[in-house]
Structures are given as C-alpha cells and as structure tokens.
Structure 1
Amino acid sequence: MPEAPPVFRFAPSPNGYLHLGHALSALLNFDAARAGSGRFLLRIEDIDQTRCRPEYERAIYEDLAWLGIVWEEPVRRQSMYMSDYGEALRRLEQDGLLYPAFETRAEIASLVRRREQVAPWPRDPDGAPLYPGEARLRPAAERDAMIASGAPYALRLDMAAAQARSGSLTWREDGAGPDGETGRVLAEPEQWGDVILARKEVPTSYHLSVVLDDALQGVTHVVRGQDLFWSTSVHRLLQTLLELPAPIYCHHRLVRDDAGQKLSKSTKATSIRELRAAGVTADDIRRKVGLPLA
C-alpha cells in the first residue's frame, strides 16, 4: 500500500497584516510540501473575534497568492468549528482534568505580587507568571453556583493531574529549539502551570484549537517558528490526553529586526502588503528571508 503524502499547514491569525516572519513560515511549509509531493493547507485561526477582522483575512489570501503559494480548498476557519473544541473540553472535564478559575487578570497580578514578596514566583517560557490561585480546590457546588450566576471564568488544565495520567512525553524535532534542541526532545508541560484551555467568552484557546485542528486535518508535519518551541510540550500533553496522533515538528529560525527582536504584528513590523506597494517582488521576499528562489 503506498505511503500517504505528508501534510503541511500554515495557520495565521487575521488580527493584523502578514510580515516577513509569516512569509518565511508559509514559504517553508509550501516548499516542503512541494518537495515531498505532499499537501499544503491554509488554516485561519480566528477564534478571537474581538481582534480578528475580515480585511486582514482577505489580505492573507492576497499576500500568499502574490508569493506564489497555492493551497487546498476549503480553508478551515476555526470560528466555524467551535463544536469540535467543545467536545474535547467535555472529554477533559469528564476525566477530571479541568477546573474553572474566576480570578480577573488584575486579581492574578495581585496574587503574584504578594507571593513575590516572599520569593521569586515561577514564570512560563514566555515570561508570564504561572497561575498562583487555588481555584481547583473550590467545592464543585460553589463552582457550579458561580458559573450559573454568570460570573466570568477560565477553564484551566489541572497540570499535575494531567501529567500523572500521561506520564513522560517526548516529540520528534527535525528543526531546532532556541538552545539547539533537536532530535527526540523531552516535553516539559509543567513549565506552563495550569494553562487556560477556554474562557467563558471564547470557548477554546490556541493550545486546544491547534491540537484538534492538526489532528482533524491529518497534518503530519508542523513547521513553525522557534517562539512556539516550548508550546509543543503542552501540545504533546493534550494529544496524549485526547488520544490524538503526534505530528513531526520542525521549529525554524525567526526573522528579526535591526535591534534583534523578532518581527511582530504588535510592534507594527513592516507588512508584506507595504513591501508589495513599495515595488518589492516575490523573489525579493525570498531573498530577504534567506530562501532560494522557487
């Protein structure tokens, strides 16, 4: 029986215009799919409806087509598949691995400040403090009453319970982490503490959605930036808890500005759209991100 073709994907969020960092990731995925006679998928990660805009989504299609990238139709838009994420949450909840936490961001920040008066408080790989609350100890009846009252909440993964169920985990890394990690990498999801998997107002999260989408779309190779390297620990944990296949990961170098900072929408990095308007060609983009011409 012939081996199934590899499946690659590029999954941007339409909350701003694409920049050179996105171009590198999209082109690496497209080139790898083409070289391996595989499939290339485009996915729109639009679960955050407060920041995502139709004009940004249209620009994604325009920019990628201009770069010479061709993708399969239909494009999966996450906002159309909330039921998939809800079913996964119900499964984790039935396994006793989720709990609602009701603290606001300000309350969490205050808790962290109080704890740091005694000793440094641990932070996740992105530099954010781990959840300092004790919501998982609330009686179930009290939780249910607060939810019924309409109180806002976040659904957090009980990391200790989840790891006790999963055991030790690794992933295959064909790229490299920030410190050169490659080959078989040990997952360390505890670095993230009790991560949020959904909120009352947004019934999923990046971690949950990306794991479900990759499995449902049959993605075999995840090629993405090194800034997401340690997120893979959480993804491997969720894949195991939900009995999903684990793709091969390849984390690539980041495109940085003159100050050495990674390009970001939040810092208003020059967009592909602006470069196009200035007369830059698609071949020029390949040169700028250090890729050979097609």
Structure 2
Amino acid sequence: MSQTASQTVETPSRCGVVGGGRMGAGIVHALLLAGAEVTLVERDAEACGAARARVANSVEASVRRGVLAEAAPVLARLRVTTDAADLADAELVVEAVPEDLALKRDTLHRIAAAVGSEAVIASNTSSISLDELAEAIDHPERFCGLHFFNPVPASKLVEVVLGAHTTPTLRGRAEGWVRHWGKTPVVVRNSPGFASSRLGVAIGLEAIRMLEEGVASAADIDAAMTLGYGFPMGPLRLTDLVGLDVRLGIARYLESELGPRFAPPTLMEEMVARGELGQKSGRGFYDWG
C-alpha cells in the first residue's frame, strides 16, 4: 500500500473496479492518478474495449489540462478484463454497475468470491440500501459505500456510506483514501438516497415539474440556480449529464422508500420512453447532437 507524508492512513495500491461505464471509468481515472494499479472488469470483449477507451480519453484529457505530464505510464497500470478472478490480489474493489439491486447483488457476490477475506469491497450506489447490498457478501464489516460524483475527474466529493456492519476502522480508512485521491469525504449513514442523491434528485424532480408546467424554459430554470444560488450546473443540465434513465430509476426507488414526494414527473417518464436520455443519447432537456 502507498502512503503520503501528510496522511497516516495507508491507501490501496492494487484496486479493482467492476463496471466501466462513465462512472466506473471515472473511478478508474481517479485511482490511476493516485498511483494505484487498477484492474477493470467488464462483461465482454466489446465492453472492455469501450471501457479502456473511456479511461484513456479521460487520462489524456488530464494531460491536456496539465494535471499529468504524460498518459502512457499511468495507463500502463491499467488492466482490463472480463474475468473477475483477476481481482484476486486487489486490496479494494469498487462495484460501479448500473443502479439495479439484483445486478449489484450479483456483482458483489462475484467480487466477494474472487477477492481475499481482507479486501475491502465498496459500492458506488447512489441510492440503494447498503444493508440490502451487504446481504450478497461475506464479512459485511469490510463493506461500505464510496459514492463518487459525475464527472469523477472534476468532482471533489465522495460520500462514504456506512452500513449497519461497517466498522469504525473502515470508516477512518475510507475517509483517508478519499483525501489521498484528492477529494473530500462526506460521511453519511445508510439511508435511502443518502444525502446527495436525496437532495439532488428532489431539486431535479422539481425542476422537471416546473418545465412540465411551463413555468420557464430549461435554460432559464438552470440559470436561476447557477446565477441565483451558485450551483456549478443547473439541475436539468445535470440530469442530462447523469442520464434521465438513471435518475428515473433513483426517483422510483426513493418513491418506494420515502413516499410520493419523489414520484417521477410524467414528462420524465415520457422522455425516457422516447429514448431521450440526455447527453448519452444526444438529446434530453438539451440538444447534445
């Protein structure tokens, strides 16, 4: 494990990430920049190629911004594979598959079967109960949430989510890791939507309702929050960036757990049904074409 002079918490030097989509690739980027060797697991060869390209593009963007001198030595520490057994020597593995309870449980079970009993397993879930996910693994005391934010390279926040079995020692270690990765930890207990998703989705849903009611245009609603409240990005543009389908899934889960105030607006459901998912589909509340 690597260690900084200012931080007494050792940080994992061999890490794994399962799921190489936008979030997973961003997490890999953060771990690589912190000096770790990273194994990225995807479902098939085609997904592996796409995930590797995402990470490479992200690292090369860091070079263009002057954060890194060159990309090749960093990318040399990346291994992309379809075999979860390649995680055997990892000290930390982060699950970053889509926000689906059954899929995440299956993924966490595969991770637990591959790694050693001392390895820490974390979920990047933005809303699902840590305790429900922990049922999929043995030694749940070594399990926590590490909720990164999109886009990971630019975001400075990581929610450290504590499940019922997460040990105080792991809490301290996780906070130290997040700081070593150049980000700020916010510790929350296991609760639907945690802190960030619960608040962020509430604002996003109300913005969609306002658009649906014709209160203002998407651009003007977003400008009200960026210029009036200092948000770095308006709630509708952020929803486009995250993905309307992703936020719809979170809203439905929060509605089931917290009640009708999180019921998704009709406009949101209609847009997802039409395939207007935001930036990834080329169209959402904005035209990304």
Q: TM-score scaled to structure 1, two decimals?
A: 0.30
Is the helix fraction higher in 1 or 2? 2
Q: TM-score scaled to structure 2, two decimals?
A: 0.30
Computing the radius of gyration from Cα coordinates, the structure with the larger value is 1
Q: Which structure's relative contact order is higher, taking Cα pairs within 8 Å and 6+ residues apart?
A: 1
